[in-house]
Structure 1
Amino acid sequence: MQSWIDLFINQFKATTWLEWAAVILGVAEVLLAKANKVWLYPTGIAATLISIYLLLNFGLYAECLLNGYYVVMSFYGWYYWIKKKNEPPVKVTYASRQEWIITLLIVFAGWGILYFILVKFTPSTVPVWDAWVSSTAWAGMWLLARRKIENWVLLNVSNLFAIPLLYHKNLAMFAVLTLILFIVAIFGYYDWRRIIRKEAINAK
């Protein structure tokens, strides 16, 4: 425990302005997602582009691919969330059976594909772990883009494994950010559940 505290203190002192920017924008993104605000997407895109640059330097290659996926899905989600002419905004709902099948395919197929890529084409020292964190986050981001409440569950599975991985890679500030995101995601789930229940009552 003391070594982790010392690591955090040293990392805090050595944190660059780019790392601070990524952390602040990352927190802002998840708070906006919790509040069900579309501005989470431009904020998240900025945080993600910075994170790609930083994570690449620490050898977390699947995390870099994950963040590239975040950028693509953020633009997709931004478009999907925006109210179109003569159409109501996308509502928060539970995932359907078909969407769960797609989610599980993203998780397990993505895990296998990423593991293969990391082992064959990168010097990654944590291919299984890195691939799992990324594949579960991929699935969560897809559900978020479609405004499905289960996105918080998948993102927190990813966060739970990402925290020790980031500490292992001496990215203490990113680990702390992920811990904050984990906590906020719990509240986000319950906030979105209240939205669903309120809409169900209003629809009666």
Structure 2
Amino acid sequence: MTVHFHEEDLPEGVLAHGPVAVDTETMGLVTPRDRLCVVQISDGGGDEHLVRFRNNSPYDAPNLKAVLGDPSRVKIYHFARFDLAAIEHYLGVVAAPVFCTKIASKLTRTYTDRHGLKNLIHELLGEDISKQQQSSDWGAATLTEAQREYAASDVRFLHRLRDILIERLAREGRLEMAQAAFDFLPTRARLDIAGWADKDIFSHE
């Protein structure tokens, strides 16, 4: 298991075919304001790749964009809504089709309100990760080893979680509902960017 660090783009041919786990690190939670700093990606084979973008980056990353925009590859996220918005806003790519472990958790683990990645990994895989670096400075000139390990851990377990959650969705008869929610997520992300992040456009109000 190796964490690979790249500047500005993903090297060509480093990922196997099939689904990829994806996550992002930004300067904050307001997508148009808080720039994209890191994209993490893994093919589930044991290695994680971190692509770092510096301040004033043109976000010209053809290899990474090709993978993210490949309609034949499922992208596995935890809270896909945020990552899809950041990727589309800064990289200009709709990184779909989608599987979101947070939504799958909410549709299957109805016995709890704890749907964070740390909670999922602990319950379903029996492993623990640290979230200490979650709010650190991802725009720093140098990323620490702790930051790199944190970023890698956010994609390291997603393939395994997906396998378990697909089984649970099937068991509870909610696979079709989950897929419909996943298919809507790119549009939900665009609504966030366009100004409807805190508005329920489906409500009667």
- Is the pair's TM-score, using the shorter chain for normalization, greater than 0.5? no
Which structure dedicates a bigger proportion of its chain to helix? 1
Tell me the TM-score normalized by structure 1: 0.29
Which structure dedicates a bigger proportion of its chain to strand? 2
Tell me the TM-score normalized by structure 2: 0.29
